[in-house]
Amino acid sequence: MSEFIITTSPILHKALLNDLKHIDSACKIKKDFKEGRYLIAFSKNPEIIIKNIVQKRHFFLKHIHPVDYSGNLLNDLNKDVEMLQSCIDRIGLSPDNRFSIQVINIENQEYTAKDIEVQVGQYIEKKYAIEAYFNDYDLPDDINQQIINILIFGNNYFIGLGTARNNLCSVSDPYRIFSRWEMHICRSEFKLREALKVIDYHPIEAHTAIDLGASPGGWSYVLANKKMKVIAIDPAKLDAQVLEFKNVTHEKIRAENYSDSVKANLIVNDMNMEPIDSANAVLGISKNLKTGSLLIMTIKFTHGPYDKRIEETIEILSKQYSLIDIRCLFHNKQEVTAFFKKT
């Protein structure tokens, strides 16, 4: 028997649960924490669950961490911190890898997530002499980093120890980090920034990117700001801030009508259309993407079954692309983000 807190998009939780049942047919949701977070109980031991989840691509899973201990809070900060510290003493931290504290606070008004993070983190640093990782402005890259996940839900706490590799994401709440970044055009900017971070893609100055369905220009803004030459394709208007970039060219046409032969290093596609149509639109301009270059696209879900929509998209694009990964990013809502390489 084991328990995990799993994060997904709320509309995808049934699809994710069906997926997890291939690992453990007896798994079930024990508690809905809202905001797409669920307490899932498995009949198998945690090592088996983690091994299978990490090895298998799970399209609908954003984040997972084990629950080693849980209990009731006293709603007194000092006493509750002492309770959490006693749990940490039993968890078994390694002195060889640095750690971070990640706290989610849902429906508790007595104190903030930051209050817990600071006090528990200072306790570990002092008692165990382990280097702490704390950065409110970026997602850490250390996959071996020890992550102490604490979820506060009303008067209950759930705490567990994992690693960035096994949690499938180095933080349990990227929103807090990305909210510190300025938004210029629209919220979709955060989605592309998260995607670039997840795939570890670093835009190169003067390389060319094609942005399909660019309006109002959030993705074009992100890429242009990184000094890429951007061809923004969309019959609709772009925000004036995007048009100020001299390295942005706006083609006011539909993607299927684009005929220029310029070679690109990156294609991004956030078009709001059926996955099949979106994938076919990509194929229409694939000749413009250099071999080995990257395609980032969102697969939108207007209806289920969601796994079938993904399979159809992969099948269409497989004529010219190989799949790298599909992730349910924290900034994905009714969609997932797919990464392909031009073959």
Per-residue model confidence as pLDDT tens digits over 41-53: 999 999 999 999 8
In this prediction, residue 209 carries a pLDDT of: 98
Q: Tell me what the mean pLDDT of segment 34-47 comes to.
A: 94
In this prediction, residue 339 carries a pLDDT of: 98
Q: Tell me what the mean pLDDT of segment 76-81 comes to.
A: 94
The model's confidence at residue 342, banded by pLDDT at 50, 70 and 90, is: very high
In this prediction, residue 182 carries a pLDDT of: 85
In this prediction, residue 134 carries a pLDDT of: 73
Residue reference for tokens 């209950």: 156
In this prediction, residue 175 carries a pLDDT of: 78
Cα–Cα distance between 16 and 340 in angstroms, integer?
22
Q: Which of 67, 83, 31 is nearest to 158 (CA)?
A: 67
In this prediction, residue 142 carries a pLDDT of: 76
Cα–Cα distance between 180 and 167 in angstroms, integer?
23
State the average pLDDT for the chain: 93
Which residues face 289 on adjacent strands?
Answer: 264
Question: 287: which residues sit within 8 A by CB, 6+ positions away?
Answer: 261
Tokens of 209: 């990117």
In this prediction, residue 123 carries a pLDDT of: 94
The identity of residue 272, as a single letter, is N
C-alpha separations of 341 from 96, 154, 292, 325 in Å: 36, 45, 6, 10
Percent over 90 (pLDDT), the chain: 78
Q: At what angle do helices 77-91 and 113-128 cross, to 10 degrees?
A: 50
In this prediction, residue 178 carries a pLDDT of: 79
Q: Tell me what the mean pLDDT of segment 295-308 comes to.
A: 93
In this prediction, residue 177 carries a pLDDT of: 79
Sheet-wide strand order for 2-7 = 28-34, 37-42, 2-7, 63-66
The model's confidence at residue 149, banded by pLDDT at 50, 70 and 90, is: very high
The model's confidence at residue 35, banded by pLDDT at 50, 70 and 90, is: confident
User: Which domains can be identified in the chain, with CATH numbers?
Assistant: 2-175 (3.30.2130.30), 181-342 (3.40.50.150)
Q: Which of helix, strand or coil describes residue 249? A: strand
Per-residue model confidence as pLDDT tens digits over 128-147: 999 888 767 777 777 788 99
In this prediction, residue 75 carries a pLDDT of: 92
Residue reference for tokens 């790298």: 324
Q: Tell me what the mean pLDDT of segment 231-240 comes to.
A: 97
Spatial contact of 56 and 168, defined as CB atoms under 8 Å apart:
no
Return the number of other C-beta atoms located less than 10 Å from residue 146's C-beta: 22
User: Is pLDDT of 119 > 90?
Assistant: yes
The identity of residue 305, as a single letter, is P
Question: 240: which residues sit within 8 A by CB, 6+ positions away?
Answer: none
Q: Which of 64, 124, 57, 59 is nearest to 94 (CA)?
A: 124
141 torsion bin: left (phi>0), alpha (psi -120 to 50), beta (else): alpha
In this prediction, residue 195 carries a pLDDT of: 95
User: Is pLDDT of 13 > 80?
Assistant: yes
Q: Tell me what the mean pLDDT of segment 246-261 comes to.
A: 93
Per-residue model confidence as pLDDT tens digits over 164-209: 889 888 888 887 777 778 889 999 999 999 999 989 999 999 999 9
CA angle 29, 34, 37 (to 5 degrees): 55
User: Is pLDDT of 233 > 90?
Assistant: yes
For the question of whether the overall pTM of this predicted structure is more than 0.75, the answer is yes
Residue reference for tokens 């399909």: 212
In this prediction, residue 334 carries a pLDDT of: 93
